Amino acid sequence: MSLKGKIALVAGGTRGAGRGIAVELGAAGATVYVTGRTTRAQQSEYGRPETIEETAEQVTAAGGRGIAVRVDHLVPAEVSDLVSRIQRDEGRLDILVNDIWGGEHLIEWNKPVWEHDLEKGLRMLRLSLDTHLITAHYALPLLIAQSGGLLVEVTDGTPEYNAATYRISPFYDLCKTAITRMAWAHSKDLAPHGSTSVCMTPGWLRSEIMLEAFGVTEGNWRDATEKVPHFIISETPRFIGRAVAALAKDPDRARWNGTAVSSGELAKLYSFNDLDGSRPDCWRYIREVQDAGKPADATGYR
């Protein structure tokens, strides 16, 4: 099935999972509005080189129509203007992906709340939760204007993994677990309008930031497994992109309303692969291999 004629908004599409999702929606034929704070003319505090214009160009090159709009999703007026523009120019919104984050530079590893920098922690929560709620407030009325809309809330970790695992600090832990509950809550409000809310997580993502941190590129990423062996289960951002696109194309997607799923789970059900032709099942690997203390071996997991 194609997504031609469908209008998508990928909020937080500058890099990482957001870029991968935007490009795969474009590859399916959708018009994709890509938002973020870093443009060719202006960087966010991240100081990263990736821009929303690059993502939009990749969407168009993949076969869709990419439209870059600079938006700070912590500023309600900017989000309101964005949705008004989509309504004016397109008359509809079929897919909303809330992938806004931007908190990597704020993380302090393995610190209790009294040791973690308070301003950094609270900023992390605002970037993760406030942005998603502000965007939902303005965009969901347009999404439910016709039946069949899809909301995807992107987080890190399956409910099972997060329920049993302390995620770095109370601040980061809340950022990632609260998104799952948020998607569930939205599902209750969207269901009467014939729309669907799903929480989705990638596996170990080979984002631009991750590759840079490990001193590798997408072309030689396996070299990083010499120092970080379990990186062997990692996946490209396009993998979760294909998961979102598959879900959007499913005429029976309402059966997923209120659930939380991973890219690896959906790959099995919708029969899609990562760019290298493999099908990584990260969270099962983490549970059965990494957390079980076994040597790194992705055989049977990708």
For 44-53, write each residue's pLDDT tens digit.
888 899 999 9
pLDDT at 79 exceeding the cut of 80: yes
**Mean pLDDT in the chain?**
96
The helix/strand/coil state of 218 is: helix
Domains of the chain: 7-207+237-279 (3.40.50.720)
State the pLDDT at residue 103: 86
Gap between the Cα atoms of 129 and 222, Å rounded: 34
Q: What are residue 65's DSSP bridge partners? A: 31
Residues 6+ apart with CB under 8 A from 301: 233, 280, 281, 282, 284, 285, 288, 289
Name the token pair of 156.
Answer: 């890190």
State the pLDDT at residue 200: 98
Q: What's the predicted TM-score (pTM) here? A: 0.96
The helix/strand/coil state of 240 is: helix
Confidence of residue 215 (pLDDT cuts 50, 70, 90): very high
User: CA end-to-end span of the chain, whole Å?
Assistant: 25
State the pLDDT at residue 45: 84
- Phi first, then psi, for residue 197 (nearest 5°) are -120, 130
Q: How is residue 219 annotated by DSSP?
A: G
State the pLDDT at residue 233: 98
Neighbours of 231 (CB within 10 A): 20
Q: Are 14 and 32 in contact (CB under 8 A)?
A: no
Cα angle: 147, vertex 152, 155; to 5 degrees = 165
State the pLDDT at residue 224: 97
| Percentage of the chain modeled with pLDDT above 70 | 100
Gap between the Cα atoms of 65 and 32, Å rounded: 6
